[in-house]
Structure 1
Amino acid sequence: MKKSIGLSALVAVVISLFTLGIGYYFLKDKKITVEHVSVPQQTVFTKNSTGRLANLDFTAVCEEVLDAVVYIESSYLVNESGRDYRQLPDPFRDFFEGDPFYEFFQIPKPDQRRNESQTPQRRVGSGSGVIINADGYVVTNNHVIVGADEIQVTLHDNRNYKATIIGTDPA
């Protein structure tokens, strides 16, 4: 038994050294060059709707629409999560049946944990939206507010408002 382990180790060392030697032989004369290429900087302009030159940089557009973009945080209560992984069947239950680990540390077994009542938990989602009129209507993606019972809208100047859902379009 010791002979076969020693022989296997010797063969592994010889193969490793041989591989390193071949790599060194082929790569020793190879020179690696590094080139720094700089892209010429230029500003591109286009004509806007009035015929005047306008910069294609989007920062000017951002400054114009900044007041209309909002941050939305929605939340809702759930009694049990459909993604509660503790409720998945334990594939090793039969293997560890009667395990004293649970009894010694007084940990409830997986079957006992499932039957415990869970307190409702608040789930939070967030996203962005756009104010579309002077009345304060905001448009956002459906997944941001689906099922929400509380919605908080934050403007770019950090003012917060409580919002209500007027309508949704899940499509």
Structure 2
Amino acid sequence: MAARFSRFRFATAAAGCFAGGVLFASGMDWTKISWAQSTTGNRPAVALRGPANIDGVGSFADIAERVTPGVVAVNTTRSVRPRATPRGRVPQGMEDFLEQFGGPQPRQQRGEGSGFVMSADGYIVTNNHVVADADQVSITLSDGRVFKAKVVGTDSTTDVAVVKIDARGLPTLTIGNDETTRIGEWVLAVGNPLGLDFTVTAGIISAKGRGQEINLPNSGNFTISDFIQTDAAINPGNSGGPLINMRGEVIGLNSAIASQTGFYSGYGFAIPITLVKNVTDALIKEGRVRLPVMGVSVTRVEPEDAGINGLSRVAGVKVLGFNPADGGPAKEAGIEVGDVIITVDGKPVERVSSLQRIVRQRRVGDRIPVELMR
């Protein structure tokens, strides 16, 4: 008997307190991912150059001069307690003598990162992993002034943080729209890599919607997965710095690099500015983040999944499970394990990252139509 495949529609409530984005299954661990914190013969050669004043867009030099004042260096200190020396690894009879002094004393660990000014009154955005667990945070402006900073709020699932300094009249950066950017567009990365303050590097947008392909340190089931990939050089210390388009607008927050060595190897990743803006606004206003989730664990659709579900092309995401396992909006709406989600809120779902992007544009409590194949 030939199998019959039907198309179902469900309305799900994107409800619940924010814990991250739509859950996703980890992809291939094809290279090491780390945070970006601290021709021969007679063939003609073509010299490649960046654009200069195209359709009113400034040159690299013009943009760098305009945006650098709004970029900051973030320096942190953390108290790290060394591991206690196991008994038996010190001279015999000395264990009790050493323990009376309280064991190993904490040491100060220093960290470096980047950030940018989001408001003239001192609010600055950076990465969560730059300031997480820091005892002290200081901000150095491009004019050399140094300020002590207060951490306003952090969110580990999106790797975004906001700090505040006591200053007025600061130069700010213009927020752009990452959704309208295209693969192949020129971008600049500005930050403080390897202790080299206010460094500018250039490249292009290499890809968008990167997610399952990369496994970030300390990432979990709720981690937002929708990165802009660039080949602009990003190194440790660039974390928290802006990714700038050719209009001088911020379209991403530089966060991680793909490398076997921990240094630049041609792949860098930035958090889309639309997500960063939502998170920073929430942190400033409420001190916490509440982004909507459907409560599903999903993975990309493979060719065999598309064939089984009667899809004309390989697109959509497959439901692997639910969170919480015994309930949640998606399960309550009738979605089942094995379903392939193809549209949400009337928009096509191409991959896991596009599903997250669609859902996070709604508010907690909204009801959204979900179209799927079963």
Residues 120/59 of structure 1: CA separation in 2 closer, same or farther (3 Å cut):
same
Q: As a proportion of its length, which structure holds more helix?
A: 1
The answer to whether structure 1 residue 39 and structure 2 residue 50 are counterparts is no
Work out which of the residue numbers 61, 84, 89 in structure 1 matches 2:63.
Answer: 61
* Residue of structure 1 equivalent to 2:72: 70
In structure 2, runs of 5+ residues without a counterpart are 1-39, 158-374
Deviations 1:71-95 (A, max 9, x none): 00111212335xx8x66xxxxx9xx
- 1:126 aligns to what SS in structure 2? strand
Work out which of the residue numbers 152, 159, 162 in structure 1 matches 2:145.
Answer: 159
Distance 1:137 1:39 in 2: 44
Deviations 1:104-127 (A, max 9, x none): xxx737x95xx7501111111110
Distance 2:76 2:106 in 1: 16
The answer to whether structure 1 residue 108 and structure 2 residue 91 are counterparts is yes
Distance 1:135 1:74 in 2: 21
Q: As a proportion of its length, which structure holds more strand?
A: 2
Deviation for aligned residue 1:165: 0.5
TM alignment of 1:65-144, pairs within 5 A: 65-81=67-83, 108=91, 112=95, 116=99, 117-144=103-130
Deviation for aligned residue 1:44: 4.0
> Which of 1 and 2 has greater Rg?
1
Give, as a single letter, the amino acid of the residue that structure 1 aligns with 2:74.
I
Residues 60/124 of structure 1: CA separation in 2 closer, same or farther (3 Å cut):
same
Moved over 2 A (4+): 34-48, 78-81
Deviations 1:8-43 (A, max 9, x none): xxxxxxxxxxxxxxxxxxxxxxxxxx6486424666
Distance 1:43 1:140 in 2: 28
* Residue of structure 2 equivalent to 1:25: none
Residues 167/108 of structure 1: CA separation in 2 closer, same or farther (3 Å cut):
same
Residues 40/65 of structure 1: CA separation in 2 closer, same or farther (3 Å cut):
closer
Work out whether residues 50 and 60 of structure 2, in 8 Å CA contact, stay in contact via their aligned partners in 1. no
- 1:168 aligns to what SS in structure 2? strand
- 1:165 aligns to what SS in structure 2? strand
Aligned residue pairs: how many?
A: 112
- 2:82 aligns to what SS in structure 1? coil
In structure 1, runs of 5+ residues without a counterpart are 1-33, 88-92, 94-101
Distance 1:122 1:46 in 2: 47
Distance 2:47 2:107 in 1: 55
- 1:135 aligns to what SS in structure 2? coil
Residues 121/170 of structure 1: CA separation in 2 closer, same or farther (3 Å cut):
same
* Residue of structure 2 equivalent to 1:17: none
Q: TM-score, normalised by structure 2?
A: 0.26
Q: Quote the sequence identity (%).
A: 32
Q: TM-score, normalised by structure 1?
A: 0.53
Give, as a single letter, the amino acid of the residue that structure 2 aligns with 1:161.
F
Residues 132/35 of structure 1: CA separation in 2 closer, same or farther (3 Å cut):
same
Residues 144/47 of structure 1: CA separation in 2 closer, same or farther (3 Å cut):
same
In angstroms, what is the RMSD of aligned CA positions? 3.4
Distance 2:138 2:51 in 1: 40
